[in-house]
Structure 1
């Protein structure tokens, strides 16, 4: 029969399994009446019958003979002779005959006490071992008879019922001590194995009590209830000893699982004892949670170490999902850890399940900070190497942007129970993603800025060399962006679009070049062509900054206008759509077109001022020219 802690027999708890015997004495009696085998009571009628006064010897045997009776298990004879010896002493005390030897009486009292102690010890040992295979049931019947006789009248061995219970308790303790127990060094599953064997030992012991001992005792002994209570008491004592050896979370869980699911509380215990038991269980739960806390911290640190040693130092290319996004297993590892902790605790204590999840979410705050520090420290060397390493550096940033965004999504399942912690995690993850994205943007800026600085110069007008580098860099990052998940990808694309547009336009404001000899039409044509190409690139990337697209056309039209006076008609759409353009910036655009002074330019600026005045001081929904130095 399967008696492992996970078997159906154990499903309701070891002690709950026997609760029917505690609640229904009639059930036991019916079972006994139907038994075909004779009981020890039937076989030992002479030993079990009441002791009559006529059976007590008129003169006790010698001390040596009584001692032999005890040692040879003739307990009834030993007891009868001890009763006789006790009566003899009582008569001597009552008569106080003149000349009677006080020394002789004292010696008899000493002998009586010594023999009683020997009989008590013998009876104690018999009860103690009464569930062992070697026990002599006939001797147990004699023990029961003597106890019953002692309780009928003031006898010679007081307090035997409690002594009997103590013997039962010691027998149970012996049973549990014999259960095999490996050390943690011998067997990684030492505790789980031991608890399984422990449960089986208790099950077997109580089965033996039910089948072999109940018919030996009178009903008022409450034998089964006593054995169950003692098993429960000694089990608790044993588990407390085991707890001192537990250091790992799996063993705390095994211990708690055994207590909660297979080790029911004794409902007859006093309130104080129940409270002590609950304190003990609570102590284990607290220790388990603390161990999980430490395990989670170590696991998070190991995640960083693994990424550092197996990914960054080895310059390993990140994995891709089926839909092409760069990713790692970091977010899955973290989620699986938290889910496992929550599941294990839910089986034991739902209140602590919520607390451990809260802690894990809070601990991720420190983890994200540590991860960012280690990542920066151990990947920066890639930028000092070749182009391939620099591309790998970019891939790593995109990988962890994706990874932590996925982590944030996966943690939404705890929002209902841990709202504050999930919201804080969202802020922390968003902050880290923003930092990683900003590092990429800054790298992009460093790559492209030298070529953007070459715009709106004499060289720019003659060659497309710098602009080709600009578009090539954008295309490279555009390909990388396809491996980044949204919404971070959308933010990154928009940032790239905005930066390139701003830097391209800002070159007009620096007065590095002014078109002469009708070069303005040629410059306007080039600006329009390049703007069209940039717009195509950013649309392909998926930029949502549509409001930037008309700007290049407005500026091209103004720069390429043959008659400066006609520029006034082009100002309204420019200023209306980009109201933060300043007088100084407008003047710089006109300077690029032609640095000569004329009445027409003065009129253009007057018209510009009128339009700006009509628009008023309303803050624009989007700033663009304000960001241009």
Structure 2
């Protein structure tokens, strides 16, 4: 009799379990939950009476756990799909919210499931949002160059539409304590961050990296998505910031800057290739800009860097600074690379005039390029400084080449001056003058900042010209000293005019020829010595002994 009664109760309980499970499957949630609560209450009463050692009680606890697990799974499934099928789930969600609230109250009572039902609901909301994002169309980048831009556009649209639905319909199925809209907003912040991490692994091109950064930093929180008018005023008190993995944004910016460097490198490679194929190989004369010899590549580079600076600034100031520094880091090696290729392709042109034109052209172009980059010294001081050193190294080589060529060219004519024929023959001076005049014409094609070039050559010519007076013991007798003084003055005036045209700032050298002419024109030693003292004071490089001997 006892066994029959036990079997009957077991069959009855099994039937109850199956009935409750069927109700859950058919989404008759309110009735299923009421039956579960009754079963749970029965379990609690028996537990109080029998203790916890009863085998039958253990089976009943297992049944409760399985049924509650099925109920939670069903609720989670409904919540996940609730915004996809709002009309079907509207009434069900009312029961869902009641069940969750009831179970939260009974959380400490025996027979229930471990873990918070509210937390499970939030996780279900997040899973639903994740599924929504995963369903947004994502083309293969091999099939569509605009794959990312299209996807991000669709992603933003899906987010807004989903939150609009939550705001207008879904949230009214829950009591205010659920903070439904806020929960969905927070879930989107988290899920979008996770989604973008997956998408980022496919992003390699510069334009796509820029689009992704712009979407994350600007567009997501703008009126196009989280700041949309259709979500107001509910978004007023909500955060609009994505929940990104730590250092994700930093890694993305670094990846972008690496692509910036690669893009600048490609631009610089193309510039060198163009100069070789279009200019050097064809032996084409350089173009002029405002009467100065010029190759426009400095404008191409500046435009490229300025474009990166301007576009990166639209994302944020930090990215602008990092992008510009990346450009300058890549630019640092450009002067050296350019010099190596120029030497390799054009050294055979020495000492033709075209070689000189090329030297002046690149002096001008790199001067302009450095001036452009100086505008970024405040934001990237180290990079500008290093680039400047490389440019100055190239300048020293180019300017030094011009100086060496000129010095070598005029050396034989300077050596033959102040010889016995000097007073009657002007050929050597005329050669010196013509070559200096040609150099002056070249200087006219050089941009103004390179007055140092003119200064150094001015000093060299004066030093060498006067040096001949110091070195050669030239005798001026029988009034030849007056003729010599007049000749020096005339030659000196012509040289002064040339170096004035070259914009030399060494105007203090202009008077040395006149003062020497005055000394040479004197008839006696006493007058000569009277003129020597101020000359030596003004020009300490001239020695009293040397001048006095050379003028006797």
Gap change, CA 1:576 and 1:151, over 3 Å in 2: closer
Aligned to 1:492: 453
Residue of structure 2 in register with 1:21 after alignment:
none
Higher relative contact order (CA 8 A, sep 6+): 1
The SS at the match of 1:320 is strand
Q: Which residue of 2 aligns with 1:24?
A: none
| 1:131 aligns to 2:93 (yes or no) | no
Which residue matches 2:403? 441
CA gap 1:293/1:539 in 2 versus in 1, 3 angstroms: closer
1:196 to 1:151, Cα distance in 2 relative to 1, 3 A? same
1:318 equivalent to 2:286? Answer yes
User: Any conservation in 2 of the 1:320–1:326 contact (CA below 8 Å)?
Assistant: yes
* Residue correspondence of structure 1 range 400-411 to structure 2 within 5 A: 400-411=362-373
Rounded to whole Å, the distance in 2 between the matches of 1:196 and 1:436 is 53
Distance 1:510 1:125, change over 3 A: same
Q: Corresponding residue for 2:433?
A: 471
Question: Which residue does 1:6 correspond to in 2?
Answer: none
2:168 alignment partner in structure 1:
211
Q: CA deviation at 1:179?
A: 1.6
Is 2:496 the partner of 1:539?
no
- Conservation of the 8 A alpha-carbon contact between 1:60 and 1:81: no
Q: 1:529 to 1:71 in 2, by over 3 A?
A: same
- Quick check: 1:180 aligned with 2:137? yes
| Distance in 2 separating the partners of 1:501 and 1:304 | 39
Q: What is the Cα deviation at residue 550 of structure 1?
A: 3.8
Following TM superposition, by how much is the alpha carbon of 1:132 offset from its aligned partner in structure 2, in angstroms?
0.9
- Secondary structure, counterpart of 1:453 in structure 2: helix
Q: Distance in 2 between matches of 1:408 and 1:477?
A: 25
Deviation of the 1:213 alpha carbon: 0.6
What corresponds to 1:147 in structure 2? 100
Conservation of the 8 A alpha-carbon contact between 1:457 and 1:512: no
Distance 1:530 1:504 in 2: 10
Structure 1 residue 164 and structure 2 residue 129: aligned?
A: no
Q: Using a 3 Å threshold, how does the CA distance of structure 1 residues 295 and 451 change in structure 2: closer, same or farther? A: same
Number of aligned residue pairs: 519
Supply the distance in 2 between the matched residues of 1:463 and 1:505 (Cα, whole angstroms): 18
Partner of 2:131, secondary structure, is helix
Identify which of 332, 338, 346 aligns with 2:299: 332
Distance in 1 of aligned mates of 2:61 and 2:530: 134
- Provide the C-alpha distance between the structure 2 equivalents of 1:202 and 1:486, rounded to a whole number of angstroms: 59
Change beyond 3 A, Cα 1:106–1:409: closer
1:504 matches 2:465: yes
Does the Cα contact within 8 Å between 2:136 and 2:155 map onto a contact in 1?
A: yes
Aligned to 2:550: 589
Paired residues of 1:66 and 1:115 also in contact (CA < 8 A):
yes
Q: Provide the alpha-carbon RMSD of the alignment.
A: 4.3
Distance 1:532 1:224, change over 3 A: closer
CA deviation after TM superposition for structure 1 residue 533, in Å: 3.0
Q: CA deviation at 1:177?
A: 0.7
**Structure-1 separation of matches of 2:200 and 2:544:** 80
Matching of residue 456 in structure 1 with residue 418 in structure 2: yes
Query: How far did 1:210 drift?
Result: 0.9
- TM-superposed CA distance for 1:543, in Å, is 3.3
Q: CA deviation at 1:249?
A: 4.6
CA distance in structure 2 between the aligned counterparts of 1:225 and 1:566, rounded to whole angstroms? 103
Contact 1:70 1:119 (8 Å CA) reproduced: yes
Cα separation, 2, equivalents of 1:277 and 1:227: 19
Deviation string 1:98-154 (CA, Å, 9 cap, x unpaired) is xxx978x88777666555444433332221111114761244344334434444545
2:282 and 2:405 map into 1 onto residues whose CA distance is: 22
Instruction: Determine the structure 2 residue equivalent to 1:221.
Output: 178
Going from structure 1 to structure 2, the CA distance change for 1:184 and 1:471 (only over 3 Å counts) comes to farther
Cα 1:82/1:472, change in 2 over 3 Å: same
Quick one: distance in 1 between partners of 2:37 and 2:533? 127
Q: CA deviation at 1:209?
A: 0.6
Gaps of 5+ in 2: 1-11, 227-234
Report the CA distance between 1:521 and its aligned residue: 6.2
CA 78–578 in structure 1, closer or farther in 2 if over 3 Å, else same = closer
Other structure's SS at 1:181 match: coil
Supply the distance in 2 between the matched residues of 1:92 and 1:581 (Cα, whole angstroms): 122
Deviation at 1:506, TM superposition (A): 2.8
- Contact (CA 8 Å) 2:305, 2:327: kept in 1 or not? yes
Question: Given that residues 129 and 135 in structure 1 are in contact (C-alpha distance below 8 angstroms), is that contact kept between their aligned partners in structure 2?
Answer: no
Is residue 281 from structure 1 mapped to residue 215 from structure 2 by the alignment?
A: no
Q: Secondary structure at the match of 1:487?
A: helix
1:74 offset after TM fit, Å?
A: 3.8
Which segments of 5 or more consecutive residues in structure 1 lack a partner in the other structure?
A: 1-57, 385-389, 591-600, 602-629
Local SS of the residue matching 1:483: coil
In structure 1, distance between residues paired with 2:173 and 2:386: 67
For residue 217 of structure 1, report the CA deviation from its aligned partner.
1.1
- Cα distance in 1, alignment partners of residues 61 and 542 from structure 2: 120
Change (3 A) 1:412 1:167: same
1:430-473 deviation line (CA, Å, top 9, x unaligned): 55434422221111112222333332335555544433332222
